[in-house]
Chains A and B, each alone.
Chain A
Amino acid sequence: MTPQQDVADWITKTVNDNDVVLFMKGNKQMPQCGFSAQVAHILALLGVDYKDINVLEDMSIREGVKAYSNWPTIPQLYVKGTFVGGCDIVREMAEAGELGQLFDEKGVAYDKSKKIA
């Protein structure tokens, strides 16, 4: 197997083993990019438990996740194994109430009393 395949397999396993995964720069306690911080903030507001992957710690994951989703930037949010979007899409969905709907549909627990907009 090629290293690229190993990385893709690792990403597949990670996004399938965890309901909500955020590939980000920095971690949820200390994001190191404004766009990653915005998504982490939205997830925190919604009270969602999620796994954070700091792409700055591993260049192969940083590049691998972009190839995996055919998406050129970080952050990247995955819910139940499916790529949801980057910062712009997550923010748009949160403001429209669609992110909560997605969590409802996918059976992901979050704090339903929280509203963003």
Chain B
Amino acid sequence: MAMDAGEIERLIKAKFPDAKIEIRDLAGDGDHYAAHVVSSAFKGKTRVQQHQMVYEALGGRMGGALHALALTTAEA
């Protein structure tokens, strides 16, 4: 199953309105993405917590519909 890059961005943006989001389709197959998310919401959070917040925004799709999302996060 694949997911559209625009859909990933929309879901993340809905949870982190201030986020700067870069998404790259790594393999051109709509199934292997790299995402870099920068948001003030990450302030004071550990990396694990930051990633968990993004996974939460994706509403359980990570590990399911979305097999491969290489994720990096940073504080704005």
- Residue numbers of A with Cβ under 8 A of B are 35, 66, 70-73, 83-89, 92-93
Q: Within the complex, which residue of B47, B60, B70 is in contact with A85, where a contact is CB–CB below 8 Å?
A: B47
**Known contacts being A71-B52, A72-B55, is A88 close to B60, with CB within 8 Å?**
no
Q: Is B2 an interface residue (CB 8 A)?
A: no
User: Which among B48, B52, B60, B70 has the highest number of chain A CB atoms within 10 Å?
Assistant: B48
Q: Is B13 an interface residue (CB 8 A)?
A: no
B50 → chain A closest CB, angstroms: 9
Complex-state Cα separation, A86 to B71, whole angstroms: 10
Q: Within the complex, which residue of B63, B64, B71 is in contact with A88, where a contact is CB–CB below 8 Å?
A: B71
Residues of B within 8 A of A84 (CB): 48
Binary interface encoding of chain B residues 32-76 relative to chain A, with 1 for a CB under 8 A from any of its CBs, else 0: 000000000000000110011001000010111000101110000
Q: For residue A35, which residue of chain B has the nearest CB?
A: B68
Main secondary structure of the interface of B (DSSP, over half): mixed
Residues of B within 8 A of A92 (CB): 47, 72
A59 → chain B closest CB, angstroms: 14
5 other A-B residue contacts (CB within 8 Å) besides A85-B47, A88-B51, A89-B47: A72-B62, A85-B48, A86-B51, A88-B72, A89-B51
Residues of A within 8 A of B68 (CB): 35
A83 → chain B closest CB, angstroms: 6
Residues of B within 8 A of A85 (CB): 47-48, 51
The answer to whether B52 and A88 have CB atoms under 8 Å apart is no
Residues of A within 8 A of B60 (CB): 72
Complex-state Cα separation, A5 to B63, whole angstroms: 22
The answer to whether B72 and A83 have CB atoms under 8 Å apart is no
Residues of A within 8 A of B55 (CB): 71-72
Complex-state Cα separation, A66 to B60, whole angstroms: 12
